[in-house]
Amino acid sequence: MKIAFFVSEATPYAKTGGLADVGGALPQALSKTGTEVKVFLPLYREVRQKGIPLLKKADRVTFSWAGQPETFALWESLEGGASVYFIDKPALYNRDGLYGTPAGDYPDNGPRFAFFSRAALEALKTLDFAPDVLHVHDWQASIALAYLKTAFADDPFFRSTRTLATIHNLAYQGLFEKSVLAETGLPESLYGLDGLEFFEKVSFLKAGILYATALSTVSHRYSQEIQAPEFGCGLDGLLRQRSESLAGILNGVDYGVWDPSVDRDIPADFGPGRIQGKAVCKQALLREFGLPADGKDLPVIGMVTRLAGQKGLDLVVEALGSLFTLGVRLVILGTGEAGIQRSLETARRRFPSFFGLKIGFDEKFARRIYAGSDMFLIPSRYEPCGLTQMYSLKYGTIPVVRATGGLDDSIEEYDPVTGRGNGFKFAEYAAPAMLEAVKNAVRIYGRPEVWGKLRTNAMACDFSWMRAAQEYALLYQSLVGR
């Protein structure tokens, strides 16, 4: 089975969020199921700066783009692991950010990712790799299916290619002015309500939803949620029409990387049955944030998150005063929207001895938070899958989550009577509901033996990619009719 993966970020090359963890780990897990995967990414400046060795596969691949000849270079990673190829077009990708700067998205993101998708299809032909399944991720790559349907409609090379579009986050749809069609060599006939039109804009994600042989999203719960108005982002009707072809496959964890017993970026290693190192990590974390270690063992709550409306930071800011009366400390690592950053910085000045804040994107720092915290707070308004709760579990850090999407699918409320469960949940998107869940967690934290049992449960959870990879492999097989 030959699979092509078009994705806009993948570890270790370029990352802004969970999509990169999927783009990096899933192809490797799939290759262990006997599936051959080739991954395609734009050659961002970030990839160049990492100094990862690359091999040039083609100097000038030429194709027709909006009536003009266009070229790109094609590179292959020599990093090992999955086969990864890069579309090299410096004018589009040699920039500071993947999608934009803190000031906002790049205005030409439509052409940037349409070019990536179109060029990646061309690259498949250059490599003579006709995929059984073309697996596109999110809006940045979904638009490839519009080219398959038009420029490549009669191309025998793709005759037996089936397609799968995975929606990692329905709220990001890639909406552009209608003129983007002409700019990117797509016919005007694709515009219209039964085409890519979405409230007088062009939706790249809609190309995936309409044209893919099948669809998937990253948890069962989210696959249901997006078929209803609350989280359907205006596309729920369309998704209901495709309900039969919409799967929900929970993401996984690359335990080769996310495991406190092998993690070299944390101050002390630890694991089930040898938990002492975790206390060392906690003390180091408090020091790093300049929070006092006052002798009492107060629980530390960690968060590692994009600063985006989705992530529930408004609840956190609202609840801060009450949170600190519970005797907890909070540490947040995040980057994103300037407004959220400002309100966190204001709060940090109000509660300097309880609240540690670091603005930035820092994977090693993130690991120190997973390792050194006692609890991990994820109050998301919605969460398609969520990876941070799964990483926390492995690091013995107990998730306190809102019961939505993949958070609801992966976290089971701890019951001290039966000893079952791996975390704490709340349903209503409201600060008092969140506080109640934290209170429960703090109460259990005060009973070290019970907390130890809960932590053992958490660390024993297995969300390895193999399970997800097997589900994807079955889905691919069903698409090609094997």
Contact residues: ligand ADP, CB under 6 A: 17-19, 21, 304-306, 333-335, 361-363, 366, 385-388
Locate 184 and state its tokens.
Answer: 């990117």
CA distances 117 to 41, 65, 141, Å, are 9, 12, 6
The CB-of-385 to ligand ADP minimum distance in angstroms stands at: 6
The CB-of-309 to ligand ADP minimum distance in angstroms stands at: 11
The CB-of-398 to ligand ADP minimum distance in angstroms stands at: 16
**Maximum distance among all alpha carbons in the chain?**
72
| Geometric angle at alpha carbon 141, from 137 and 142, rounded to 5° | 80
Which is nearer to ligand ADP, 388 or 457 (by Cβ)? 388
12 upstream amide cis, omega within 30 of 0: yes
The CB-of-378 to ligand ADP minimum distance in angstroms stands at: 8
Which is nearer to ligand ADP, 43 or 313 (by Cβ)? 313
Which is nearer to ligand ADP, 207 or 333 (by Cβ)? 333
Rounded-to-integer distance, Cα 391 and Cα 302, Å:
12
The CB-of-387 to ligand ADP minimum distance in angstroms stands at: 4
The CB-of-380 to ligand ADP minimum distance in angstroms stands at: 8
CA distances 202 to 135, 169, 188, 195, Å, are 21, 18, 11, 9
Locate 177 and state its tokens.
Answer: 């002015």
Rounded-to-integer distance, Cα 343 and Cα 124, Å:
47
Nearest to 394 by CA among 465, 332, 346, 340: 465
Q: Which residue is nearest to ligand ADP (CB)?
A: 18
Which is nearer to ligand ADP, 21 or 88 (by Cβ)? 21
CA distances 268 to 215, 262, 275, 299, 431, Å, are 42, 10, 10, 19, 34
Residue in the block written with tokens 């909070």: 330
Query: 313-325 vs 338-350: helix axis angle to the nearest 10?
Result: 10
Which is nearer to ligand ADP, 13 or 152 (by Cβ)? 13
Locate 25 and state its tokens.
Answer: 């780990």
The CB-of-120 to ligand ADP minimum distance in angstroms stands at: 22
Strands 214-217, 175-176: pairing is unpaired
Which is nearer to ligand ADP, 50 or 420 (by Cβ)? 50
Rounded-to-integer distance, Cα 396 and Cα 441, Å:
14
The CB-of-336 to ligand ADP minimum distance in angstroms stands at: 8
Which is nearer to ligand ADP, 185 or 302 (by Cβ)? 302
Which is nearer to ligand ADP, 177 or 363 (by Cβ)? 363
